[in-house]
Amino acid sequence: MTYTLNFSAVWRSFDLLLQGLALSLGLAALAILAGCAIGLITAFGLVSKRVLLRKPAGLYVTMIRNTPILVLVLFSYFALPELGIRLGKIESFVLTLAIYSGAYLAEVFRGGLIAVPPGQREAGLAIGLTELQIRISIIIPLMLRNVLPSLGSTLISLFKDTSLAAAIAVPELTFEARKINVETFRVIETWIVASCLYVATCSLLAALMRAVERRLAVPR
């Protein structure tokens, strides 16, 4: 074992890694926004009394949660064009990640919705709000506060899942790291730096979410 660590080659391409990281963050941000929308709608479906809403929502969540995300990524990039849906690499990946996280977020939101006391809805009805108004201005804000911790961990695992975009050659962090790895042969150094970037970003996201939680905590 005569391997000496030499990071200079990795530092020379460090801006590539940073660009990759920025793209990873962008992918995660877009996917979580779309995923939250999908998850919210699905969650209302999951708690609905109507079977026609509840069953399809449940089917979507079960199907997506039990399929490996790599299969979904490859499916939407390579198989959807056969159905006439042609998307670019980035679009198809963000779409997949949004649909994937939507299923997880639906479960998260469902738990949060159930935890909102029914009295809140009744109070809304009493002051003459419509069902939609109650949902938007009372239930969703209360629910969001309930689910912040799990929302945070979903966001972090979503950010880590952006690494799968490397499989369809989206130039995010993992893809760039692999490229540098192949070009410079500084194998160990590249992966050390790339993992440290991931770990640092995840810790930062976690700290950020904790700060938001503290800000929004219910005063006791």
Q: What DSSP assignment string belongs to the chain?
A: -------HHHHHTHHHHHHHHHHHHHHHHHHHHHHHHHHHHHHHHHT-S-HHHHHHHHHHHHHHHTS-HHHHHHIIIIIGGGGT----HHHHHHHHHHHHHHHHHHHHHHHHHHHS-HHHHHHHHHTT--HHHHIIIIIHHHHHHHHHHHHHHHHHHHHHHGGGGGGGT--SHHHHHHHHHHHH--HHHHHHHHHHHHHHHHHHHHHHHHHHHHHHPPP-
Q: In whole angstroms, give the CA distance from residue 78 to residue 168.
A: 9
Q: Can residue 202 be called a binding residue for other proteins (CB under 8 A)?
A: yes
The residue among 61 and 147 lying less far from other proteins, judged by its C-beta, is: 61
Closest CB 123 distance from other proteins, rounded Å: 31
Q: Using CB under 8 A as the criterion, what x/- string covers residues 152-181 for binding other proteins?
A: --------xxxxx-xx------x--xx--x
Closest CB 112 distance from other proteins, rounded Å: 20
The residue among 62 and 130 lying less far from other proteins, judged by its C-beta, is: 62
Q: Can residue 199 be called a binding residue for other proteins (CB under 8 A)?
A: yes
Closest CB 194 distance from other proteins, rounded Å: 6
Q: In whole angstroms, give the CA distance from residue 193 to residue 207.
A: 21
Closest CB 134 distance from other proteins, rounded Å: 32
Determine which residue in the list 114, 203, 208, 210 makes contact with other proteins, applying CB under 8 A: 203
Hey, which residues between 48 and 67 contact other proteins (CB under 8 A)?
A: 62-63, 65-67
The residue among 11 and 185 lying less far from other proteins, judged by its C-beta, is: 185
Hey, which residues between 111 and 150 contact other proteins (CB under 8 A)?
A: none
Q: Which amino acid is at 15?
A: D
Q: Can residue 4 be called a binding residue for other proteins (CB under 8 A)?
A: no
Binding site for other proteins (CB under 8 A): 1, 3, 62-63, 65-72, 74-75, 78-79, 82-83, 160-164, 166-167, 174, 177-178, 181, 187-188, 191, 194-195, 198-200, 202-203
